[in-house]
Homo-oligomer: A and B are copies of this chain.
């Protein structure tokens, strides 16, 4: 009377920081076809609480989780420097892995993942660049791909966070924030970034001493497209990302969707998202759902290990430029056929 019912995908989650917990709640609460089966974090108390809430098992270390028979796929949300090892362990046992950005904090770490995946001969790694799943950025890409605005010549982007956490550095503004633009631009424009120049001006009196904020970052693509990105991690008023692509015959720019306008006392106002969780809530859901759906049919089509490597390579060059305030070139390895 009925065919074989598709089993739920059992996901193991490594890392129960803010983003890890967000992912766990998302899988449990709004993703079809998956459940959180196991959780690990170095903070044993926290992991127990989170596992309990998710009705999942709390495991004792990352490798145990990755190799667990009841874990079909792994979501890596641990601190960035640990990512390559954990992703490599997933590749070792042939399990699909969604690795939060960055794939690695060093170029070398990323290249190790690429080598392992290339040896394996098939894609198992996806990197968590969720903007590719945002309705707005997808619409921008669709317009660019349609040729409606002609040849792309320039891009203007802004990326603002309301407040940076204590200890946030000028480098982190590049590796944690602008890295999203680095990936997004590569994806939107369909080409690699070849150079980065960080430019510093006046810093906000509300930003911590020693933190250059905002920063202006110029990216150059292989074909010569110039991208300017404002990264401002203490803009105070909300979370705001913008992107205008200038083509030879027209432009396309990202809207921040708004839902209502309130008029009173001489002003018509619309809300700005409070934080990235609000702004990209739907994108994160789409990312996870498409990842789960792809695994069910044996396909991983999201941002690849190559994308993770290239973004890290650009971020590393940006950090270099940030310290010298001169232009830094980005030299990429040859792109393996697996990623073409």
Mark A residues whose CB is within 8 Å of B: 1-6, 8, 27-35, 51-52, 55-58, 135-136, 138-140, 143, 148-154, 156, 158, 199-206, 214, 216, 218, 220, 223-226, 228, 230, 232, 235-238, 240, 244, 246, 248-255, 257-272, 274, 282, 289, 293
Contact = CB atoms under 8 A, between A and B. Distances in A.
Contacts of A282: 282
Interface of chain A: mostly helix, strand, loop or mixed = mixed
A262 B236 contact: no
B55 A6 contact: yes
B224 A201 contact: yes
B261 A272 contact: no
B262 A271 contact: no
B261 A266 contact: no
A158 B27 CA distance: 37
27 contacts: A1-B58, A2-B56, A29-B289, A30-B31, A30-B32, A135-B259, A139-B260, A143-B262, A150-B206, A154-B232, A156-B156, A201-B224, A201-B226, A202-B223, A204-B248, A206-B248, A230-B246, A235-B250, A236-B250, A237-B250, A237-B263, A253-B261, A255-B258, A255-B259, A255-B260, A266-B274, A267-B272
A236 B263 contact: no
Nearest to A223: B202
Contact of A264 (B139, B237, B244, B255): B237
Given A1-B58, A29-B289, A150-B206, 10 more contacts: A32-B32, A136-B260, A140-B260, A143-B262, A149-B262, A150-B236, A154-B230, A202-B225, A251-B264, A255-B261
User: Closest 8 A-B residue pairs measured CB to CB?
Assistant: A250-B264, A201-B226, A257-B257, A202-B224, A269-B269, A136-B259, A139-B260, A267-B269
- The count of identical subunits is 4
A237 B216 contact: no
Contact of A246 (B31, B52, B214): B214
A173 to B, nearest CB: 14
A300 B228 CA distance: 39
> In the complex, which of the residues A52, A206, A248 has the most CB atoms of chain B within 10 Å of its own CB atom?
A248
